[in-house]
Amino acid sequence: MYVGIDIGGTNIKAVLTNREGEIYSAKSTGTGKTIKEIDDTIVDIISEFMSAFSDRGTVQAVGIGAAGSIDGNKGIIITSPNIQAWKNYPLARNLERRLGIRVFLENDATVAVMGEWWQGHGRKFRNWIMLTLGTGIGGGAVIDNKLYTGQSGSSMEFGHISIDYRGKKCKCGSIGCLEQYASASALARNAQSLLRKYPASALNLRPKGEPVTSKLVYEAAMKKDELAVHAIEEISFYLGVGIANLVNIFNPEAVILGGGLSKAHRMIFPIVKKVVAERALPGLKDNVKYLAVKTQDKIPALGAAKVAIDSLGL
């Protein structure tokens, strides 16, 4: 058996699976705020899995996906937007010591793509790309039915494609990076900047001191709040510019959206498609399918388990 864990900003999702991706059990619990809380939560989940399913075998390895800058080879979280305390934190080694099981770490976009490839929409296509819209924008490409990883094991940083060489500064040091325009954080910032222009917006009625989050914007947009709808339309335009670039590069069979903000795909895709129609090349843009991952699903956690299965297989 294998455990896959997806550590999000809000929840830790875990699955217990076999080599074929059959799920024996799944759990979701609050992420917690300190390093110790997270470590303890993970250890507890795995221990519970092991005792409840001891008749099926033993856990061979654990795969973990986490947002941020990850050194997969060393199992270290270099920095993470969700958990500030994680700085060069050797998560994999610490868990290995406590559990006595091999632990493999990858970034959240990679496990999300791996999950889609193994058990999600990606199974239907040989050549496709995925963008995960969260605090940043992650990416992945499956080429000829294989996850492309570049020479360093890391690549497809679609959030850091510059769509404006003299545009917004990015914390990566570059200028005009897509994630400054079309991530969940960009949506929140964009909505914040529109508050005065839309005095009637429900977002102006939020409790004092509470920040505008992408979740609040999404919920308001679902209720047709004008500001929120406008803010999502704007980031969808920029996302379309980025996806048009990727369509001209990959001519993919499908573009799959993941990450928290992909919940808004019914608002996002019509604008993305319009921009791609205007900006990508004939022949390359003609047969592209646009899909969103099923939200709240177990696929990233399954992807993390698959990372563990494949890593152990080497």
Closest to a copy of itself by CB, 52 or 78: 78
158 binds a copy of itself (CB under 8 A): yes
163 touching a copy of itself, by CB under 8 A: yes
Judged by beta carbon, residue 61 or residue 141, the one nearer a copy of itself is 141
CA dihedral 301, 303, 305, 306 (to 10 degrees): 170
Site string for a copy of itself, 279-298 (x = CB under 8 A): xxx-xx-xx-----------
Which of 48, 226, 253, 310: binder of a copy of itself (CB under 8 A)?
253
What is d(CA 54, CA 199) in angstroms, rounded to the nearest whole number?
58
Footprint (CB under 8 A) of a copy of itself, residues 105-144: 127, 139, 143-144
Structural tokens at position 50: 């092991």
Beta carbon of residue 292, minimum distance to a copy of itself (angstroms, whole number):
20
With CB under 8 A as the contact rule, the residue among 42, 212, 244, 255 that binds a copy of itself is 244
Cα–Cα nearest to 117, from 99, 106, 129, 107:
129
Residue of 18, 60, 79, 162 that binds a copy of itself (CB under 8 A): 162
- In the complex with a copy of itself, the residue whose CB is nearer, 33 or 169, is 169
Under the binding rule (CB under 8 A), the answer on residue 152 touching a copy of itself is: yes
Q: Which is nearer to a copy of itself, 63 or 72 (CB)?
A: 72
Q: Are 3 and 63 in contact (CB under 8 A)?
A: yes
Q: What are the distances in angstroms from CA 291 to CA 14, 102, 129?
A: 24, 34, 11
Q: Dihedrals φ, ψ of 303, to 5°?
A: -60, -40
- Calculate the dihedral angle through the C-alpha atoms of 242, 245, 250, 254, rounding to the nearest 10 degrees: 40
Indicate whether 79 belongs to the interface with a copy of itself (CB under 8 A). no
Amino acid (one-letter) located at 136 = G
Among 193, 249, 274, 294, binds a copy of itself (CB under 8 A): 249
Contact by Cβ (8 Å): 97, 105 = no
Figure out which of the listed residues 51, 165, 210, 266 binds a copy of itself, where binding follows CB under 8 A.
Answer: 165
Give the Cα separation of 32 and 44 in Å (integer): 13
Q: Which of 167, 216, 208 is nearest to 188 (CA)?
A: 216
Binding footprint of a copy of itself on the chain (CB under 8 A): 127, 139, 143-144, 146, 148-152, 154-158, 160-167, 172-176, 238, 241, 244-245, 248-253, 278-281, 283-284, 286-287
